Chain A
Amino acid sequence: MDLEVLVALPIIIPLLLGALSLTVLSNHSAQRWLGAIGTALLLLCSVWLLLHTREVGIQVLEVGSWPAPFGIVLVSDMLGAIMVVLASITGFATALYSLKTVRKRFERFGYYPLLHLLLAGVNGAFLTGDIFNLYVWFEVLLVASFALLILGGERAQMEGAIKYVTLNLLSSALFLTAIGLTYGLVGTLNMADIAVKMASLEDQKMVTVIASLFLIAFAIKAAAFPLFFWLPASYHTPQVAVSAIFAGLLTKVGVYALYRVFTLIFTADTGFTHEILLWIAIFTMLTGVLGAAAQFEVRRILSFHIISQIGYMILGLALFTPLALIGGVFYIMHHIIVKANLFLVAGLMYRLGGSFELKKLGGLYRNHPGLAVLFLIPALSLAGVPPLSGFFAKFILIKAGVEASAWWAVGVALLVGLLTLFSMIKIWNEAFWKASPEPNPAVPAPTRNALLYWTIGLLAAMTVCIGLFAQPIYQMAEMAAAQLLNPAGYIEAVLGGTTP
């Protein structure tokens, strides 16, 4: 019993913090302290949960003492625990970054409570073992993200928000339909129980129909091809800190859900579902990177790169070999940190250079060499230059592709890596290397940026560490992949043995 409560902490901490900071809505400094210290506490608890899960095995908490197939369970396996730690890292970095960048006007509209609510939703989605509960957490994080997206109420935000909201609500409707069909078919909502009952069904056709519905619903959330249009329309519009946490976490919740259901529940007809996933992955990689090539606004370029990176993660799931899943999990770990960091760097570029447009930027290397280095680390890592984290992530995935003889996927993955490098060099050349187009930047540079540098530096250091000390990270990814490939362990932990 004692340590089981650890599983609930990553949800209950941000929920309580969000509620507390709602009650002190007009007290700005209290909100900021709650944001920074609270997310630090959350990070500590998540790391503890990860270490505990690695040590002891899959942790299960039966909420309200209701036994497993009937009540809601919270489950922390390696994948879930790793995702929670990543979410907490992003949350902590965003909260630190927000201290200096978010204006009082936004704080009054509830910026911090929404941030905590978003984290609670994301962590809830990563930890729940119940498919309907997963839907509820999805909606929690969606509602928080809707409100964060339109905070400030500018024209571009409204326009992007309408697309974002409409497509995400459609995806929720599909998700709910799929849940309904699942319940109608097997009469249970516990994911482990669903996996057992679905496997014993004689007629597998309905299972494939349900799998396709889940696939579409989660693919919209993950911004996979061809359902990604909401992402580039909206991600470049909100506050930079909000963009960073969205870029780091939201699509990854969709990817996580795909990983969860397509390793635990729908593994019977992999010839059909995982073949579709493979082609989705290939096209997602390609469209994302080609879209980025056509853009000249830093945040838009980065938004399109989110899409292409999602392709790599889905590729890991689609190949469905041990090595590919390790690569996929490793990729997610690397990507969340790097992507959030790049958006934060873009925010600092705006503060120092006065614009997000590449044409108007310039001379940042001469004036701010520190920022240039901090940009290069995540940018080169994103492109997969050794010895940074992205190199190992891509290397494992491509090796898995070669072993599975998925030549198309391997070719596209290599090509997309090259084009990503091109994209990053484009930003480097335009924003950092070329001379500044105007002698005096339009916006006078704010002076106190030390905290922002520290935040970005912290994330960049993590990127370097993942690259230099890849062995322990690889081992964690290996454990996560082993658990995913052997759902019997998950099912055993949830359904048997834990209750007296």
Chain B
Amino acid sequence: MKPRRFNMRSLILNTGSSLLLPLLVLFSLFLLLRGHDEPGGGFIGGLVAAAAVALKLFAEDYKAARDMLRVHPLQLVGIGLVLAAVASLPPLFVGESFFTAQWWSLDLPIFGELKLSTPLLFDIGVFLGVIGTVLTVVFTLAEAEHS
């Protein structure tokens, strides 16, 4: 049986994807950051970002998508998990229970008040973890198709 090539190149998809990609990535970051008390969050943001890379995979090929990501998707999962796990630790230093949310606010000269928190760190961890997991699955399937 001859291996079938994964090939559905089309000019429209190619051009469209290069326009859509930055938008999708931006949108995923927007979803990630507004997620604390409005619909959004790390999980959905991560899915959108993963969809962006998957779009690259469909529009061009497996290699282009891998190159765009630069790191191995499993490493993304690792970094995400480290961030999420680290987010549980700060409250221990101020004498509160494990995983209690901590908020710090910074006063920046132009932008005004900036609120940083451990839930945000956790969400970023989830974001990276979801991108990594989804892309691991997608790449594994694409590889199986190749071989």
Chains A and B touch each other in the complex, with CB atoms below 8 Å apart: yes
A62 within 8 A of partner (CB): yes
- Partner-binding segment picked from B17-25, B44-52, B76-84, B105-113: B76-84
Residue of B nearest to A109 (CB): B74
Residue of A nearest to B101 (CB): A64
Q: How large is the interface on B (under 10, 10 to 19, 20 to 34, 35 or more residues)?
A: 20 to 34
Q: Are B97 and A23 in contact (CB under 8 A)?
A: no
A171 within 8 A of partner (CB): no
Q: In whole Å, how far is A297's beta carbon from the nearest beta carbon of chain B?
A: 31
CB 8 Å contact bits of B92-109 with A (1 = contact, 0 = none): 100111111100000000
Q: Which residues of B lie under 8 Å from residue A26 when comparing CB positions?
A: 72
Q: Are A25 and B78 in contact (CB under 8 A)?
A: yes
Among B78, B86, B95, B98, chain A packs the most CB atoms within 10 A around the CB of: B98
Given contacts A16-B82, A16-B85, A19-B82, contact A63 B99 (CB under 8 A): yes
Q: Are A22 and B92 in contact (CB under 8 A)?
A: no
Distance between Cα atoms of A16 and B84 in the complex (Å): 9
Q: Which residues of B lie under 8 Å from residue A64 when comparing CB positions?
A: 97-101
Within A458-476, the residues touching B (CB, 8 Å) are none
Q: Which residues of B lie under 8 Å from residue A18 when comparing CB positions?
A: 78, 81
B117 within 8 A of partner (CB): no
Q: Are B82 and A1 in contact (CB under 8 A)?
A: no
Distance between Cα atoms of A16 and B88 in the complex (Å): 11
B75 within 8 A of partner (CB): yes
- Partner-binding segment picked from A4-12, A216-224, A240-248: A4-12
Q: In whole Å, how far is B70's beta carbon from the nearest beta carbon of chain A?
A: 14
Distance between Cα atoms of A412 and B101 in the complex (Å): 54
CB contact between A65 and one of B77, B86, B89, B97 (< 8 Å): that residue: B97
CB 8 Å contact bits of B31-52 with A (1 = contact, 0 = none): 0000000000000000000000
CB contact between A1 and one of B89, B95, B99 (< 8 Å): that residue: B95
Among A1, A23, A26, A63, chain B packs the most CB atoms within 10 A around the CB of: A23
Q: Are B98 and A61 in contact (CB under 8 A)?
A: yes
Q: In whole Å, how far is B140's beta carbon from the nearest beta carbon of chain A?
A: 11
Q: Which residues of A lie under 8 Å from residue B84 when comparing CB positions?
A: 19
Q: In whole Å, how far is B49's beta carbon from the nearest beta carbon of chain A?
A: 19
Distance between Cα atoms of A65 and B88 in the complex (Å): 12
Q: Are B92 and A25 in contact (CB under 8 A)?
A: no
Q: Are B77 and A22 in contact (CB under 8 A)?
A: yes
Distance between Cα atoms of A21 and B78 in the complex (Å): 7
Q: Are B85 and A12 in contact (CB under 8 A)?
A: yes
Distance between Cα atoms of A23 and B132 in the complex (Å): 12
Distance between Cα atoms of A477 and B47 in the complex (Å): 47
Q: Which residues of A lie under 8 Å from residue B85 when comparing CB positions?
A: 12, 15-16, 19
Distance between Cα atoms of A65 and B72 in the complex (Å): 36
Residue of A nearest to B92 (CB): A5
CB contact between B82 and one of A4, A23, A110 (< 8 Å): that residue: A23
Using a CB–CB distance below 8 Å, which chain B residues touch chain A? 72, 74-75, 77-82, 84-86, 88-89, 91-92, 95-101
